[in-house]
Structure 1
Amino acid sequence: MNRKLILDIVMGSVIPILILNNLNEQLGTGTTYVVAALVPVAWIFVDLCFITKRFNFITSYIGTFAIMRGLLAFWFVDGVQFALKDSMGSIFTVLVFGGSIIIHKPIIYYFLMQGMNPESSQQEQALKALLKEPRVYRTLVKGTKLLVIVEVLIGVANFLFNLQIVVADFGTVMFNQQVAQVNAITRIVLTIPEFTGVGVAAMSIRRAMFYHLPKENNKDHDESDFWDLLKLRESQKAAELISPPTKDSEEIQ
């Protein structure tokens, strides 16, 4: 487990839970709740501005998500409204990912374009061409749909967990402790299906991408650099345009 992931877990889950359980007397219940809710938000902005220092599609998405969470921290509710509020992250994801499918621009495409980080305009254009292959595009759509379904299930489960566990009134020590309890459960349990869905989608997309990539010197795809294979694919496409197959060679094939 790398240091960045450990920091994400500590700042996103461990510290807020400790604050909710231990600082109610010192800060007051309302202030304690707000501070605990804003710690993960502040960490995201510190990460984006001082650690990652990259502003692109992915960081814009994460930043928007963080702003939403920050604003929701000041919506002081309990009961059903709190359960709905705590599930807003899933609702946001479903709307963004689902909307991208409706407009025929699966959001995974943009995550891939940013995440794979092409280093030149040639690599960027070659990657775009690969992702537009019908087989790959269909997999991008299916992967986005899968993540929408997973996020819907996570949102429903999160709502029910909160509804069942957080039953105290807002502004009480018991409320903060119950929020800490539900966070300790959901931050672990609900992360498993999320990572599983991402993993399944990633494997399917990878398989579809390599289907359209040539092999280098009869080596397995795993033994070659992805960008080298993509460059080889572009070279072969250019060669075919210059010297298209003859009728005799087509008959032999």
Structure 2
Amino acid sequence: MKDRKMTHLRFDYDIGRFKPVTVVERGFHCPFCGREQLENILAQEGSIVWLKNKFPVLEDTLQTVLIETEDCQSELSVYNKEHLHRVIRFGVEKWQELVRSGEYSSVLFFKNHGPYSGGTIRHPHMQIIGLKHLDYVPKIPQESFSGDVIVKEAGIELNLATLPKIGFIECNIRLRDPAKIDVMADYIQAVAHYLLHHFHKNCNSYNIFFYHLEEEIAVKLVPRFVTSPLFIGYSIPQISSRGAEVVREIQLLYFAEGGAALRAEGKSS
């Protein structure tokens, strides 16, 4: 459905000003904790719920939310493997379901975590948004998904971008074999845990973005801080001098023997 070319989404302020904010303490009640009050549920699997967004601020879209767990204070990097795999499988299935429907020019699938991520709700969740008239794919530089390999096996790879889209540190997962989706989930969890606990002592936020790249699924994980003015004003990304160190740290902490003991030592500076 690409009948009209658009480059921007229109935000409805009259709806947005009523959105609750729980990612920082402002006295709002979490809208995802009262399960009996949830409306417009599209699908459910155990504690995972997919529903329409109660505050659809983006015009000409279908905005949906995937609530990952009943535990408001939990977070993807600490899920047990069974639940982690269920969440990622469920999310990818519903994302692809909207893609296959043919009703949208493109479909976004992403996760915000933390006060610098751009999200408003603390409760663990993801978002799946169908864009009726905007195709995101031409906006994404394909070279930002290539990089220095952290770990790799047949059909899947985790790398550190050598030409990051926004700048500094971006980890990519490239899934070529759909049967390896649980491995993809494990890679996502490892990077999320690294960003929150070992990357930098001030890192408390990240984004996860999912993409369709021809015959594969790509995932980009980005630690979030205040965004550089060079990128905001001039679209100039920067490359971190810590790249090789980050690759070694993730390999040692998550993919080498004895990594669990090293992870227990805590954050880097």
Q: TM-score, normalised by structure 1?
A: 0.29
Whose RCO is larger (CA < 8 A, sep 6+)?
A: 1
Point out the structure with the larger strand share: 2
Larger radius of gyration: 1
Q: TM-score, normalised by structure 2?
A: 0.28
